Amino acid sequence: MKTIKQKELENKYQFKTDYVKDIKNFKDKILKKTLIPHQVEFQAPPRGKKICWLECPYCYGLSAEDNGERLEKDRGIEILRQILDGGVNKIIFAGYATDPLNCSYISDLLELTIKKKAIFGFNTKALRIEDKFFNILETNNLTEGSYISLSVDAGSNETYNKIHGVKTNTKIYDKVLINAQRLGKIKEKNFFDLSAAYLVNIHSSSEQDYENFILNFMEAGCNLLRFTFPQQPKGIETEKGVIPSEIEKDKYKNTLENLKKKHENDNCSILIVDADTDHDIYNKPRTVPCYARYIFPTVGFDGWLYNCSQSSAPNFRNSALGDLTKENFWELFYQYESNKFQEFEKICNKKINSSGCRCDRKEHVINQNIIDSKIFK
Ligand SMILES: C[S@@+](CC[C@H](N)C(=O)[O-])C[C@H]1O[C@@H](n2cnc3c(N)ncnc32)[C@H](O)[C@@H]1O
Ligand code: SF4
Ligand code: SF4
């Protein structure tokens, strides 16, 4: 039988977790300026000139603008310290168009988060992990709920390169698997959730790949594997099959259901998540009014504070909260007048609508839940 913890983990990866448990309390705290965001996403800047180490053809963030500005190490650490000292107890290291493990000071950010007893989460391709990062995970007390989610999308080197648009024959899948195995070994002694994600599209939809991935990453120590489907990214044309149609998705899901029956066990859940169909958000750009800035504001790689993970690049500065290289986190977070809150909301949502942003699944679901509560009417 699956444990309660395993069930909770499954809910988290199916976008069922409640980010806002008491909506009335949420509103009161916004107005009193005592709200602490549920989590802050920290999109650590890339080490090189290029914004990301891959250019995945399905990536949400491919149209992100890069004006060359980066959040520098000292200021980055200072901002994270402000966030943690102000009471935020969950920091997500992910990206819109970047990868957290491609940042030169990611180990310092991780260490600070752990030392302050906050939960950490990573969404990463994990192409490279420095020894310092492994050591920090191994030698510190980790707060329960911390996780690393590896975005893999393949079960072989060939498919890995195909789905991620890599033109060389480099054996990246093998490298990622070795990193997963190292993480799995640490997790045996110092627990955190280790999961692996697989985006299914025309390039990654062979049964052999699905099964290799399941066997390899289960053996590496993952306690959850999640299959899902790419959503239409903002502002780019994708080739046919990169974003699967409903018919394609149904075909993929059939094969996956059989493999789930064959391989799922009490130590490792296998999820097949089709949130677009479940929540009727296929191709819907955004759900507004938007409450993201109060729930999971996001530090962009350029040092600005944005509403959410999907609107966090210089092309979204018009709807951003402000510039963290000049102002502190909490000043920007509480920069509104409570007695003119409705007016403020209206202006924010106008800017958001004209920014062209596209919600990811959790953002659609959370905004919709708050709208349905009518608490801000
Ligand atoms: C934008 S990436 C940033 C973090 C890191 N670079 C990575 O790839 O894991 C975060 C997650 O979004 C997923 N993703 C990217 N584009 C997507 C899309 N169009 N639809 C659904 N998921 C997408 C990635 O596979 C990854 O799991
Ligand atoms: S999916 Fe991740 S690794 Fe791929 S281009 Fe986007 S941000 Fe970079
Ligand atoms: S992408 Fe969605 S959550 Fe983010 S700012 Fe736009 S409407 Fe809000």
Give pLDDT, residue 5: 73
Give 203-245 pLDDT, tens digit per residue. Answer: 999 999 999 999 999 999 999 999 999 988 888 889 999 999 9
The CATH number for 107's domain is 3.20.20.70
Number of domains the chain contains: 1
Give 25-80 pLDDT, tens digit per residue. Answer: 999 999 999 999 999 999 999 999 999 999 999 999 999 999 999 999 999 999 99
Give pLDDT, residue 37: 98
Give pLDDT, residue 281: 67
Give pLDDT, residue 282: 65
List, for the chain, all residue ranges whose pLDDT scores fall below the cut of 50: none
Ligand in nearest proximity to the CA of 96 = 1
42, 52, 60, 225: residue to mutate for ligand 1 pocket, most atoms within 8 A of CB: 60
- Among residues 217, 244, 239, which one has the least CA distance to residue 154? 217
The answer, yes or no, to whether any atom of ligand 2 lies below 6 A from the CB of 199, is no
User: Residue 56 sits in which domain range?
Assistant: 4-373
Give pLDDT, residue 235: 85
- CA of 52 from ligand 2 middle (Å) equals 6
- CA of 347 from ligand 1 middle (Å) equals 30
Give pLDDT, residue 14: 62
Give first-to-last CA distance, the chain, whole Å: 44
Give pLDDT, residue 351: 98
Atom of ligand 1 nearest to the CA of 232: 19
